[in-house]
Amino acid sequence: MGKGEKVVPIAENRDAKHRYDLLERYEAGIVLEGPEVKSLRSRGTVSFKDSFVRVEDGEAWLHNLYIAPYRFATVKPPDPMRKRKLLLHKREIMRLYGRSREKGYTIIPTRIYWKNNLVKVEIALAKGKKLHDRRQELKEKAVRRELERELKGKLRL
């Protein structure tokens, strides 16, 4: 990040780290309508559940990202689950498209944030983890936690 850039988090897809191996990350702009931006500014609910990115006709589209409707909208608010266009360089789109065509790879949003008063989405090329990989990860985490407890107990003596 450059000098003087202010990044303020809006929401993070915590489930992505558990279900996928995140290989490459990209920062993308997102095309939003006025009430959606106001909803994000007023800390409206954002849900990444089942959201994904698909490349269609040379453009990247974000599907199933839920942005809560703005309560005080005077015009009819847009559909909270509508597909939204992502703003990326053509070569980034083509690279993501090529990699996502390989078996087991997908593109998912990992977080959404403000960057200099613009809404940005971090997307990642991801490979799904198998169930046994996730179980192994949980076992390793439990072993690490147990070791830390033992070390703390010995330090107190």
In angstroms, how far apart are the furthest CA atoms of the chain? 66
Residues 105-140: tens digit of each pLDDT: 889 999 999 998 899 999 999 888 777 777 888 888
pLDDT exceeds 60 at position 6: yes
Q: Is residue 157 part of a domain?
A: no
148 lies in some domain: no
Is 30 part of any domain?
Answer: yes
Q: How far is CA 104 from CA 15, 71, 75, 133, in A?
A: 17, 39, 42, 14
Predicted confidence at residue 85, as pLDDT, reads 92
Query: What pLDDT is attached to residue 121?
Result: 94
Q: What is the pLDDT of residue 139?
A: 87
Q: Is residue 89 part of a domain?
A: yes
pLDDT classification of 3: cutoffs 50, 70, 90: low
* Dist. CA 98–CA 92, nearest whole Å: 10
Domain that holds residue 13: 7-129
| Burial bucket for residue 49 (CB in 10 Å: 0-12, 13-18, 19+) | exposed
CA distance 112 to 12: 6
Kindly tell me if the per-residue pLDDT of 87 is higher than 90: yes
- Residue 144 placed within a domain: no
Neighbours of 76 (CB within 10 A): 8
Query: What count of other Cβ atoms lies within 10 Å of the Cβ of residue 1?
Result: 8
Encode pLDDT of 88-105 as tens digits: 999 999 999 998 888 888
Assess if residue 146 is contained within a domain.
no
For residue 63, what pLDDT is reported?
A: 93
Q: At 109, which CATH number?
A: 2.40.280.10
Examine residue 135 and state whether it is found in any structural domain, yes or no.
no
Provide the domain count of the chain: 1
Residues 6+ apart with CB under 8 A from 62: 30, 51, 52, 53, 83, 84, 85, 86, 109, 121, 123
* Mean pLDDT value across residues 133-154: 83
Which pair of tokens denotes residue 129? 């983890």
**14-73 per-position pLDDT tens digit:** 888 888 888 889 999 999 888 888 888 888 888 888 888 999 998 999 999 998 888 887
Give the span between the Cα atoms of 16 and 22, in whole angstroms. Answer: 8
Query: Contact, 17 vs 25, CB < 8 A?
Result: no
pLDDT score, position 91: 93
Predicted pLDDT of residue 77: 77
Answer whether residue 151 is part of any domain.
no
Determine the pLDDT at residue 110: 92
